[in-house]
Structure 1
Amino acid sequence: MIDQWRHVFKLDPDKMISDADLDAVCLSGTDAVMIGGSSGVTYENTVDLLSRVRQYELPCVLEISELEAVVPGFDLYMIPMVLNTRSVEWLIGHHRRAVERYGYIIPWDLVVPEGYIILNSECTAAKLTEAECGLSVSESTAYAQTADKLLSLPVVYLEYSGMFGDMELVSTVHRSLSNSRLFYGGGICDTETARQAAEAADTIIVGNIIYTDLVAALSTVKAIKG
């Protein structure tokens, strides 16, 4: 499924979105809707958002950041493994506890692990996971190749949440990958940034702009998919 994705809208359960705006997002032509956030994610607001998105015929996936907010009924479950964290908890610790607790009911065929590389030190995800964000191009590429060739992860995710990243770095990381698909997220806010990111990565993730300028958010789909 993810091999065909070029554009994904990411919705935060902790943020309000009207029915009209959600309708526009889900009928925009995007390849999928990802539900997830770095804070304020609960079982209740995740269930609510899933039930609203499920009215539309497009893939809906959950990016898990909070164990208590895991909800059945998604098409896929994206599991972040923060490669450049200073804490083992965000690389494997939380994951081990989840498997220990819920392993008997985990739908393993729907689980997609992501090798996250967080590169904006000011974003919530970086602070939460204690990510070492000041990485050089070679260091970022080494992390990505570790995910691709050593860990065999299907997705490498370059996360600049809150700012538009270094597209030369993104392109270099992309060229270094053999099997993993490169997701890029951060600062995509209009047609031009969408095109630049799409040229550098396999899949672009568009999130924050949905809540501040819906028209600009929708233009990112047209920029990628015509």
Structure 2
Amino acid sequence: MKVLIVEDDRLIAELERDFLLASNFEIEIAETGMDGIGFIEKEEFDAVLLDLMLPQMDGTSVCRKIREKSNVPIIMVTAKKEDVDKIRGLAVGADDYIVKPFSPTELVARVRAHISIHERIKKEFEHEEIEEKIEIRNLEIYPKARRIFRNKEEVALTNKEFELLLFFIENPNIAFSKDTLFDRIWGMDAVGDTATVTVHVNRLREKIEPDEENPMIQTVWGIGYRFRLE
């Protein structure tokens, strides 16, 4: 398994590299955002560790660029601790967020976990037979293949966005609190808070809603969200 580290602090990059090498990962290091994008364009990686504060191009912009080309798991590793920074990172497509100083063993564990999830989804897709689709308004959803089409054009959803959508579809017309959605989709032991739910709901709406005036994912004030089926 191969991991790209995009980090301008050489000591931190080498610390990440050494722990990942000890766990039998192959490693490449990029010290600027532009170099990181260059690696992604030339090579295949199983995961990316991405710093936010980088020369030439910040980590948020790098993440956005990577997402245009690849769905590789991206874990942001940064000294920024504010919720707004975490939300911004998740909003542009990061899969996870680790704050410096971090536990190297936790970092390795998270890398392994995200690669495992990504590989499982790929295998399910590769071996998927023709399945019944779910049709809602202008959407066609294939749950096992984890694919969704809007007006016959495929829409790219992150793993959590797809899981959130499926949960809504399986539980229509029920109002769920943000806490409940976080527990159901991310798990009770996950790192994060209900702001994560808000970010993912907003991203999902941008990608699938056919009519902003008549949305499928409704905000229930004082409670959370409800998926409305006509």
TM-score by length of 1: 0.34
Higher relative contact order (CA 8 A, sep 6+): 1
TM-score by length of 2: 0.34
